Chains A and B, each alone.
Chain A
Amino acid sequence: GAVVSQHPSRVICKSGTSVKIECRSLDFQATTMFWYRQFPKQSLMLMATSNEGSKATYEQGVEKDKFLINHASLTLSTLTVTSAHPEDSSFYICSAARTSSADTQYFGPGTRLTVL
C-alpha cells in the first residue's frame, strides 16, 4: 500500500509554455501533499506544502505565481509551471501523507522537466 504516482514521467516543452504535473495517491487518501525540486547531483528541496481544499504554503524563494499548486481532492495534487524557462528544468518529485505533515511521506517516482 501507500503508492504515489506522477504523470508525466518526462516532459519537454518550449520556453514560455506552461506544464502541468499530476501527483496521485493510488491506494490511500492524502490530506497533505508536498512538492520538491531536485537539480542534477543535488538533494531535494521542498517547494511547497498543500493541504486538500486549502491554498498551498510555499517555501521562501519559490514564486507562487509561477508554480501553481492545486490540491482539489484527497488523491490528486497538480503542479503547474507557468511560462517555463530553461532554468526551470529540473526533476520534480511529489510526496503524500495521510494526515498532517508529521505523518510518513510517500514519494512519487518524479517528473523530469526539460525546457528548451
Chain B
Amino acid sequence: KQEVTQIPAALSVPEGENLVLNCSFTDSAIYNLQWFRQDPGKGLTSLLLIQSSQREQTSGRLNASLDKSSGRSTLYIAASQPGDSATYLCACLSGAGNMLTFGGGTRLMVKP
C-alpha cells in the first residue's frame, strides 16, 4: 500500500525567500506525481504533474523534481510571496487500481 509523507507539516517564511517542500513515497512504482495547492475551505488547484519518466517540471516560480528510485519529490518555490500562502499537497498515482494517494500536506505561511 502506497504511503505518502510530506515534511514539514507547516512552514512560515518571510516574503522573498526561496523554499523547498518535501514529499516521500514508499512504493516507487508510480505512474505520476502531482503537486496541488489548496486554499482554506477550497478545492484543489493542480500546480505540476510529473510523469514517471520525467525528472522535473517547471511552471513560473515553481519547480518540481522527481527521484523515483529514492521515493522522493521536492517542490521548489522561488521568491516566495504572501499570495503563496496555502496548503501544498503531493499525490502519487500508483497501484493496480490506479489510486491517487495524497500526503498530509505542508501548510505554508509567507509573511509580508
Q: Which residues of A pack against B, CB within 8 Å? A: 6, 34, 42-46, 49, 57, 91, 93, 95, 100-102, 104-110, 112
How many residue pairs link A and B with beta carbons under 8 A? The number is: 44
Interface of A is mostly: strand
A100-B102 in contact (CB<8A): no
**Chain B residues with CB under 8 A of A100:** 98
B contacts with A: majority SS: strand
B55-112 CB contacts (< 8 Å) to partner A? 89, 91, 93, 97-105
Number of interface residues of B (CB under 8 A): 20
Enumerate chain A residues within 8 angstroms of B49, measured Cβ to Cβ: 104
Please determine whether A43 and B105 come into contact, CB atoms closer than 8 angstroms: yes
Given A42-B104, A43-B103, A43-B105: A101 in contact with B42 (beta carbons within 8 A):
no
Question: Given contacts A43-B89, A44-B89, A46-B99, is CB(A102)–CB(B44) below 8 Å?
Answer: no
Residue on A with the closest CB to B90?
Answer: A43
